[in-house]
Amino acid sequence: MFRNQYDTDVTTWSPAGRLFQVEYAMEAVKQGSAAIGLRSKTHIVLGCVNKANSELSSHQKKIFKVDDHIGVAIAGLTADGRVLSRYMRNECINYSFTYESPLPVGRLVVQLADKAQVCTQRSWKRPYGVGLLVAGLDESGAHLYYNCPSGNYFEYQAFAIGSRSQAAKTYLERKFENFTDASRDDLVKDAIMAIRETLQGETLKSSVCTIAVVGVGEPFHILDQATVQQMIDAFEIVGEQEAPDAAAGQEASAEPEPEPEQGAAAGEGVAPMDI
């Protein structure tokens, strides 16, 4: 990304029809540590890589419970993520209070997207620098959404955001057709494997990653470290034997759900925020 004279203000268009401040906000998401999400018909699993600043400090919280049926994983400016989680929790509580029923996930992500859009059209505000993977269960089934700083949102079968997420996405693209009917445990396993891809060589242990699950009959909760370590140990040996099968050739093209690649290179005509 190069500096230019149209990027000072979020309310200034470039001649090519882009809002650079919004694109820079999306860059912030790509710099954050990875978060992944995948879903079946009945369960959604969120996972994230925990990066601590130093050995002395604690990990940043990147997965938040929003309600019994909704959880969110973030990548980017975690402070912005915390604030948005608080907003989401509030909306869920207010809806429950008024209607005595859980807030449908689709409604929540639209409210979140509208909130993000406001920040792209006010000169005294800045876009939120955080991408959110919203996992939720409602009457219409299991859902996984991705909310951008641009105010766009998309539904996914599986997705990954943050640094080195491309590796996880490649893994997910290979496997996603099995997810719809996968069992809960297989889904968690796939989540852990996807996280392993982003670590690229670093040892995978439960202190480095966080996994959360929500599903039918299972309120949103974060799995404790012992359980996660057990699952890692169980398949670590088996996992090594799985040769990354590039021959499968299931790259994104007429898929039932949109699974776009990372943005086209900045210099080209396509504005990344169209994704």
Partner 1 sequence: MPKQQANWSPYDNNGGSCVAVAGADYCVIAADTRMSTGYNILTRDYSKICKLADKCVMASSGFQADVKALQKHLAARHLIYQHQHNKQMSCPAMAQLLSNTLYYKRFFPYYSFNVLGGLDNEGKGCVFTYDAVGSYEKVGYSSQGSGSTLIMPFLDNQLKSPSPLLLPVQDAVTPLAEAEAVDLVKTVFASASERDIYTGDKLEIVVINADGIGREYMDLRKD
Is 145 or 220 the residue whose CB approaches partner 1 more closely? 220
Q: Is 96 in the site for partner 1 (CB under 8 A)?
A: yes
Six-digit token string for 245: 């099968």
In 3D space, the residue among 155, 150, 151, 130 whose CA is nearest the CA of residue 75 turns out to be: 130
Choice between 222 and 264, CB closer to partner 1: 222
Helix (H, G, I), strand (E, B) or coil at 47: strand
For residue 164, state whether it binds partner 1 (rule: CB under 8 A).
no
170 binds partner 1 (CB under 8 A): no
* Strand positions, DSSP E, the chain: 35-39, 43-49, 63-67, 70-76, 130-138, 141-147, 153-155, 158-161, 209-215, 218-222
Quick check: helix, strand or coil at residue 43? strand
* Under rule CB under 8 A, residue 117 binds partner 1: no
What is the nearest approach in angstroms of partner 1 to the Cβ of residue 207? 19
Nearer to partner 1, 94 or 183 (CB): 94
**Residue 65 is a binding residue for partner 1 (CB under 8 A):** yes
Q: Determine contact, residues 46/135, Cβ cutoff 8 Å.
A: yes
Name the residue nearer to partner 1 (CB basis): 66 or 273: 66
Contact call for residue 97 and partner 1 (CB under 8 A): yes
Pick 90 or 178: Cβ nearer partner 1:
90
Q: Are 128 and 75 in contact, with CB atoms under 8 Å apart?
A: no
Task: State which of residues 89, 126, 184, 205 lies at the interface with partner 1 (CB under 8 A).
Answer: 89
Asked if 73 contacts 132 with a C-beta cutoff of 8 angstroms, the reply is: yes
> Of 1, 79, 93, 216, which lies in the binding site for partner 1, with binding defined by CB under 8 A?
93
Q: Say how many CA atoms lie within 13 Å of 161 toward its Cβ.
A: 29
Number of residues that bind partner 1 (CB under 8 A): 8
| Residue number, 1 or 83, with CB nearest to partner 1 | 83
Footprint on this chain of partner 1 (rule: CB under 8 A) = 65, 86, 89-90, 93-94, 96-97
